[in-house]
Amino acid sequence: MAPRLALLLLLASILAACGPAKEPTYSVEKTKSCLVEKGANVGGPLDFVASTATGGALHAKLPANAVTIAFGANTGDAQQIEKAYVRFHARNVGISDILKRYSNAVLLWKHHPEQSDLDTVTSCLE
């Protein structure tokens, strides 16, 4: 019985040390560079929430849409950015349709993104 208990304790400690998988941390500079390479027009004014993002922010115009990407310094900051957008959105806007968070990056679209635009932007999150 003691060897089984020792084995179970060993396995439990190994699993506890692994912990949850760490989410990636995306960079405004790398993402901007990639978007420009893919033909997006990057620049323009930022809204209040994006202008206060701890990891920086950018606005990109794509062929069929536009997106503001606000970066948190970490995932917790990005969650706060996401909450701010939800809190301050216009009541006639379906925010869940145009707001998405990927790790430390929060995307706010002008209108519901086409899959091609979504793929372009998410493939540039670096």
93 lies in some domain? yes
Q: How far apart are the first and last CA of the chain?
A: 50
Determine contact, residues 37/120, Cβ cutoff 8 Å: no
76 lies in some domain? yes
Q: Give this prediction's pTM.
A: 0.82
115 lies in some domain? yes
- Domain range for 59: 24-124
4 lies in some domain? no
Per the structure, how many domains does the chain have? 1
3 lies in some domain? no
6 lies in some domain? no
39-71: pLDDT as tens digits = 999 999 999 999 999 999 999 999 999 999 999
pLDDT of residue 33: 98
Non-local CB neighbours of 85 within 8 Å, separated by 6+ positions: 49, 95, 99, 106, 108
14 lies in some domain? no
8 lies in some domain? no
Structure tokens at 78: 């990005």
